[in-house]
Amino acid sequence: MELDVEFVGVTKSFGDFVAVDNISFSVAKGSFFSLLGPSGCGKSTTLRMTSGFEHPDSGQLRIAGQEMAGVAPYRRPTNMVFQRWALFPHMTAAENVAFGLEVERTPRREMRERVAQALALVGLSEFSHRKPGQLSGGQMQRVALARALVKRPKVLLLDEPLGALDLKLRTQMQLELKRIQREVGTTFIYVTHDQGEAMTMSDHIAVMNKGRIEQIDTPQTIYDRPATRFVAGFIGNANIAPLEIESVAGREAKVRSGGLSFVISDVDGATPGKGHMALRYERIRLGAAAAQAPLRFKADVRDVIFAGSVVQYVLALADGPLELLAEQSHEGGGALLSRGDRVDVGWEPNAPRLFAGG
């Protein structure tokens, strides 16, 4: 596998504050890689080190096999797209896209062709003569994207480029971005705090928290097998509940929460003592569906939240202190449970993920 970007043990502090703490990752050439995490976790700092606008205190950073220490931003094979697209207001879309090529003194004819290609790629051929004031937010962001792609960087760095768009447009642009990335085959490193966005587009996601990387995997593995409690809570909807780990045998653990005892399977490296489980809302089965589940409990429905395609229930388990949220698809349009109902609840032993620690 050819690697385009490699971070090896990179650390960056601002004064006493460690913004990026000994991170290592590599991005395969031609892939869509996302840095995902909450505000302040060090995503932009990581991206800015890639582009050369910040410098690591220690560790190594290679792009296309070349060590980047001492290489100025404009000499790196990278280009950046920002959240605020900063187009020149007095220039047309085509002129904005051409700007970087003019600076490089690209021959006229080649420039015209490349600008036309880039505008076609982002679906704006018909808008090439419009100025930013005559374009919508989504169209302006496409111009910004075309302006970055026209320079044919090896690696395109995108820092929350859809953050300023409304939800519908953002969803549409996510699919567009993925299509464009596939079409041009450029390596994308995409920064976002929006897990849905990262899941939709990425080949691999690095989940960051407090300057560290907690997990790097495909979207599906991150969702199904979160490596840490933080990842389980940050991606998707999971009940995170404290419990006692009583014993561990191989990959199976016996756990207890108040009067409830049950087994969790497919465990990775737990030890007896305090722990937490993460149980996704949709892995909890209710009513008749619970009857076939290997683990079964009784619960009282405390609340019903109807959200259209899904219904959420707040459940208090009868024999322990656990309160769990369960989510059911409403595809059949059937009757809902009501507050106060007593209901059967069940799940597979491998549905919860178990994490050691209080």
User: Is 195 one of the binding residues for Mg ion (CB under 5 A)?
Assistant: no
Nearer to Mg ion, 11 or 221 (CB): 11
Nearest residue (CB) to ligand ATP, 2 versus 57: 57
What residue 284 binds from ligand ATP, Mg ion, none (CB within 5 to 8 A, per partner kind)? none
- CA distance readout (Å), 203 to 65, 219, 281: 21, 7, 25
Nearer to Mg ion, 197 or 327 (CB): 197
Contact between 174 and Mg ion per CB under 5 A: no
Strand-pairing partners, residue 253, are: 248, 264
Which of 6, 34, 36, 44 binds Mg ion (CB under 5 A)? It is 44
- Contacts with ligand ATP in 5-34 (CB under 6 A)? 14, 19
Q: Cβ–Cβ contacts within 10 Å for residue 175, how many?
A: 11
Contacts of ligand ATP in 184-223 (CB under 6 A): 193
Spatial distance between the Cα atoms of 4 and 90, rounded to a whole number of angstroms: 36
- Closest to ligand ATP by CB, 37 vs 226, is 37
In one-letter notation, the amino acid at residue 295 is: L
Tell me, by CB under 5 A, how many residues bind Mg ion: 1
Count of positions on this chain that bind ligand ATP (CB under 6 A): 11
Q: Name the residue with the smallest CB distance to Mg ion.
A: 44
Angle between helices 167-184 and 108-121 (to 10 degrees): 130
CB of 44 to ligand ATP, least distance (A): 3
Which residue number, 37 or 352, has a Cβ lying nearer to ligand ATP? 37
Q: What are the Cα distances from residue 293, in Å, to 51, 264, 277, 313?
A: 51, 13, 18, 18
Which residue, 194 or 323, has its beta carbon nearer to ligand ATP?
194
Dmax (CA) for the chain in angstroms is 77
What's the burial of 183, exposed, middle or buried (CB within 10 Å: 0-12/13-18/19+)? exposed
The pattern of x and - marking residues 4 through 43 that bind Mg ion according to CB under 5 A reads ----------------------------------------
46 belongs to the binding site for Mg ion (CB under 5 A)? no
| Interface mask toward ligand ATP for 30-59; x: CB under 6 A | -------x-xxxxxxx--------------
Give the count of beta carbons closer than 10 Å to the beta carbon of residue 332: 7
Q: Which two tokens stand for residue 292?
A: 């076939």
Q: Does 80 bind ligand ATP (CB under 6 A)?
A: no
In the complex, least distance from residue 35 CB atom to ligand ATP, rounded to whole angstroms: 8
- Nearer of residues 39 and 309 to ligand ATP, judged by Cβ: 39
> What does the block give as tokens for 230?
């933080």
Residue 71, amino acid: V
The string of DSSP letters for 188-217 reads EEEEES-HHHHHHH-SEEEEEETTEEEEEE
Question: What residues line the site for ligand ATP (CB under 6 A)?
Answer: 14, 19, 37, 39-45, 193
